[in-house]
Protein backbone atom coordinates (compact mmCIF):
# COMPACT_ATOMS: atom_id res chain seq x y z
CA UNK A 1 0.00 0.00 0.00
CA UNK A 2 1.23 3.44 -0.84
CA UNK A 3 2.44 5.62 2.00
CA UNK A 4 -0.09 8.32 2.73
CA UNK A 5 1.08 11.93 2.79
CA UNK A 6 0.27 13.75 6.03
CA UNK A 7 0.19 16.99 4.07
CA UNK A 8 -2.49 15.70 1.70
CA UNK A 9 -4.52 14.22 4.56
CA UNK A 10 -4.44 17.54 6.42
CA UNK A 11 -5.38 19.44 3.27
CA UNK A 12 -8.43 17.23 2.76
CA UNK A 13 -9.58 17.56 6.38
CA UNK A 14 -9.07 21.34 6.39
CA UNK A 15 -11.09 21.68 3.19
CA UNK A 16 -13.88 19.46 4.53
CA UNK A 17 -14.07 21.51 7.74
CA UNK A 18 -14.14 24.85 5.88
CA UNK A 19 -16.72 23.57 3.39
CA UNK A 20 -18.97 22.29 6.19
CA UNK A 21 -18.71 25.57 8.08
CA UNK A 22 -20.02 27.50 5.05
CA UNK A 23 -22.49 24.97 3.62
CA UNK A 24 -23.52 22.82 6.59
CA UNK A 25 -22.96 19.62 4.62
CA UNK A 26 -20.08 17.39 3.62
CA UNK A 27 -18.42 18.15 0.30
CA UNK A 28 -18.51 15.57 -2.47
CA UNK A 29 -15.34 13.92 -3.75
CA UNK A 30 -15.58 16.12 -6.84
CA UNK A 31 -15.82 19.26 -4.65
CA UNK A 32 -12.80 18.19 -2.60
CA UNK A 33 -10.85 17.64 -5.81
CA UNK A 34 -11.80 21.11 -7.06
CA UNK A 35 -10.96 22.72 -3.73
CA UNK A 36 -7.65 21.00 -3.04
CA UNK A 37 -6.35 19.98 -6.45
CA UNK A 38 -6.02 16.39 -5.23
CA UNK A 39 -7.39 13.87 -7.80
CA UNK A 40 -10.66 12.15 -6.92
CA UNK A 41 -9.24 8.60 -6.68
CA UNK A 42 -6.59 9.87 -4.26
CA UNK A 43 -9.18 11.73 -2.18
CA UNK A 44 -11.26 8.55 -1.99
CA UNK A 45 -8.28 6.46 -0.84
CA UNK A 46 -7.34 8.99 1.83
CA UNK A 47 -10.87 9.20 3.18
CA UNK A 48 -11.14 5.42 3.44
CA UNK A 49 -7.71 5.20 5.07
CA UNK A 50 -8.48 7.93 7.62
CA UNK A 51 -11.80 6.24 8.41
CA UNK A 52 -10.01 2.91 9.00
CA UNK A 53 -7.61 4.64 11.39
CA UNK A 54 -10.45 6.33 13.27
CA UNK A 55 -9.29 9.80 12.32
CA UNK A 56 -12.60 10.63 10.62
CA UNK A 57 -15.91 8.93 9.92
CA UNK A 58 -16.64 8.27 6.26
CA UNK A 59 -19.50 6.14 4.94
CA UNK A 60 -18.89 6.71 1.25
CA UNK A 61 -20.90 9.92 1.28
CA UNK A 62 -20.87 11.84 4.56
CA UNK A 63 -17.61 12.90 6.17
CA UNK A 64 -17.42 13.64 9.89
CA UNK A 65 -14.20 15.13 11.19
CA UNK A 66 -13.38 15.95 14.80
CA UNK A 67 -14.31 19.58 14.17
CA UNK A 68 -17.63 18.70 12.53
CA UNK A 69 -18.48 16.29 15.35
CA UNK A 70 -17.77 18.96 17.94
CA UNK A 71 -19.92 21.70 16.40
CA UNK A 72 -22.81 19.41 15.46
CA UNK A 73 -23.11 17.88 18.93
CA UNK A 74 -23.63 21.32 20.40
CA UNK A 75 -27.21 22.52 20.57
CA UNK A 76 -27.19 25.37 18.07
CA UNK A 77 -30.18 27.60 17.37
CA UNK A 78 -30.66 29.87 14.36
CA UNK A 79 -31.85 33.31 15.39
CA UNK A 80 -33.50 35.46 12.73
CA UNK A 81 -32.29 39.02 12.27
CA UNK A 82 -35.75 40.54 12.26
CA UNK A 83 -34.97 44.18 11.63
CA UNK A 84 -33.68 47.41 13.13
CA UNK A 85 -34.87 48.91 16.40
CA UNK A 86 -34.46 52.65 17.07
CA UNK A 87 -32.29 53.73 20.00
CA UNK A 88 -33.56 57.28 19.78
CA UNK A 89 -36.96 58.60 18.78
CA UNK A 90 -39.51 55.82 18.28
CA UNK A 91 -40.18 54.82 14.69
CA UNK A 92 -42.86 52.87 12.89
CA UNK A 93 -42.69 49.14 13.53
CA UNK A 94 -40.63 47.38 10.93
CA UNK A 95 -40.71 43.74 9.82
CA UNK A 96 -37.47 43.13 8.01
CA UNK A 97 -36.78 39.54 6.99
CA UNK A 98 -33.01 39.29 7.05
CA UNK A 99 -30.32 36.72 7.71
CA UNK A 100 -29.85 34.25 10.52
CA UNK A 101 -27.17 33.99 13.18
CA UNK A 102 -26.28 30.62 14.70
CA UNK A 103 -25.89 30.74 18.47
CA UNK A 104 -25.28 28.14 21.22
CA UNK A 105 -28.58 27.42 22.93
CA UNK A 106 -26.78 26.93 26.24
CA UNK A 107 -26.02 30.66 26.35
CA UNK A 108 -29.64 31.65 25.83
CA UNK A 109 -31.77 29.47 28.06
CA UNK A 110 -35.40 28.78 27.30
CA UNK A 111 -37.60 31.05 25.22
CA UNK A 112 -38.23 32.35 21.73
CA UNK A 113 -35.43 34.65 20.59
CA UNK A 114 -34.71 36.93 17.66
CA UNK A 115 -32.12 39.57 16.80
CA UNK A 116 -32.57 43.28 16.14
CA UNK A 117 -29.94 45.74 14.99
CA UNK A 118 -29.64 48.84 17.17
CA UNK A 119 -30.08 52.13 15.33
CA UNK A 120 -29.28 55.30 17.24
CA UNK A 121 -27.42 56.38 20.37
CA UNK A 122 -30.01 56.64 23.13
CA UNK A 123 -28.73 53.44 24.82
CA UNK A 124 -24.99 54.05 24.62
CA UNK A 125 -24.59 54.32 28.41
CA UNK A 126 -26.00 50.80 28.65
CA UNK A 127 -23.35 49.56 26.22
CA UNK A 128 -25.64 49.40 23.19
CA UNK A 129 -24.35 51.36 20.21
CA UNK A 130 -25.59 51.90 16.67
CA UNK A 131 -24.97 48.80 14.57
CA UNK A 132 -24.90 46.38 17.52
CA UNK A 133 -27.01 43.24 17.34
CA UNK A 134 -29.39 42.86 20.27
CA UNK A 135 -30.64 39.38 21.16
CA UNK A 136 -34.25 39.74 22.28
CA UNK A 137 -36.43 37.22 24.12
CA UNK A 138 -39.96 37.49 22.79
CA UNK A 139 -42.41 38.34 25.58
CA UNK A 140 -45.24 40.78 26.29
CA UNK A 141 -44.23 41.45 29.89
CA UNK A 142 -41.05 42.55 31.64
CA UNK A 143 -39.74 43.52 35.05
CA UNK A 144 -38.96 47.16 35.71
CA UNK A 145 -35.30 47.84 35.13
CA UNK A 146 -35.07 45.55 32.10
CA UNK A 147 -34.15 46.85 28.65
CA UNK A 148 -37.12 46.21 26.40
CA UNK A 149 -38.34 46.52 22.85
CA UNK A 150 -41.59 48.41 23.27
CA UNK A 151 -44.41 49.51 21.01
CA UNK A 152 -46.26 52.67 21.99
CA UNK A 153 -49.86 53.76 21.34
CA UNK A 154 -48.91 54.98 17.84
CA UNK A 155 -47.46 51.60 16.90
CA UNK A 156 -43.90 52.91 17.00
CA UNK A 157 -41.13 50.76 18.44
CA UNK A 158 -38.02 51.62 20.38
CA UNK A 159 -35.36 50.09 22.63
CA UNK A 160 -35.34 51.58 26.12
CA UNK A 161 -35.13 50.65 29.79
CA UNK A 162 -38.53 49.99 31.38
CA UNK A 163 -39.02 52.14 34.47
CA UNK A 164 -41.81 53.10 36.84
CA UNK A 165 -42.71 56.62 38.00
CA UNK A 166 -43.70 56.40 41.67
CA UNK A 167 -45.36 59.83 41.56
CA UNK A 168 -47.63 59.29 38.56
CA UNK A 169 -47.86 55.51 39.08
CA UNK A 170 -47.08 55.00 35.40
CA UNK A 171 -44.50 52.93 33.58
CA UNK A 172 -42.23 54.79 31.19
CA UNK A 173 -39.30 54.22 28.86
CA UNK A 174 -35.94 55.53 29.99
CA UNK A 175 -33.09 56.19 27.54
CA UNK A 176 -29.52 55.52 28.68
CA UNK A 177 -28.21 58.80 27.24
CA UNK A 178 -28.72 62.14 28.99
CA UNK A 179 -29.49 64.02 25.80
CA UNK A 180 -32.75 62.07 25.38
CA UNK A 181 -35.90 62.52 27.45
CA UNK A 182 -37.98 59.84 29.12
CA UNK A 183 -40.93 58.59 27.10
CA UNK A 184 -44.37 58.36 28.71
CA UNK A 185 -46.58 56.59 26.16
CA UNK A 186 -50.35 56.55 26.66
CA UNK A 187 -50.29 52.82 26.12
CA UNK A 188 -47.23 50.63 26.35
CA UNK A 189 -46.87 47.28 24.60
CA UNK A 190 -43.81 45.15 25.37
CA UNK A 191 -42.48 43.23 22.39
CA UNK A 192 -39.48 41.60 24.02
CA UNK A 193 -36.66 41.84 26.56
CA UNK A 194 -33.06 42.45 25.51
CA UNK A 195 -30.87 39.64 26.81
CA UNK A 196 -27.49 40.05 25.08
CA UNK A 197 -25.59 42.36 22.77
CA UNK A 198 -23.26 41.31 19.94
CA UNK A 199 -20.89 44.06 18.90
CA UNK A 200 -17.81 44.59 16.79
CA UNK A 201 -14.78 45.78 18.72
CA UNK A 202 -13.35 48.84 17.04
Residue 1 has pLDDT above 70, yes or no: no
Three-state DSSP class for 148?
strand
Please give the Cα distance from 188 to 36 (Å, whole number): 58
Closest CA to 117 of 141, 140, 101, 139: 101
Angle at 114 between CA 23 and CA 84, to 5 degrees: 100
**Mean pLDDT of the 161-170 span:** 93
Please give the Cα distance from 124 to 197 (Å, whole number): 12
Residue 145 has pLDDT above 90, yes or no: yes
More confident residue, 68 or 78: 68
* pTM of the complete model: 0.60
Q: What is the pLDDT of residue 202?
A: 62
Phi/psi at 164 (5° precision): -130, 130
Q: Are 126 and 109 in contact (CB under 8 A)?
A: no
Active-site positions read 122, 160
Q: Are 88 and 120 in contact (CB under 8 A)?
A: yes
| Residue pLDDT, tens place only, 93-105 | 454 445 777 777 7
The fraction of the chain above a pLDDT of 90, given in percent, is 55
Amino acid sequence: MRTKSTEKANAIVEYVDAFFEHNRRSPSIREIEAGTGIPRPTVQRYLVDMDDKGQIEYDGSNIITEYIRRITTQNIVRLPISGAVPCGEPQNEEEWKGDFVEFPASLLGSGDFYILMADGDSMTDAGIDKGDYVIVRRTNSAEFGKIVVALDNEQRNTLKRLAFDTKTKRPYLHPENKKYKDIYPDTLSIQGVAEMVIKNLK
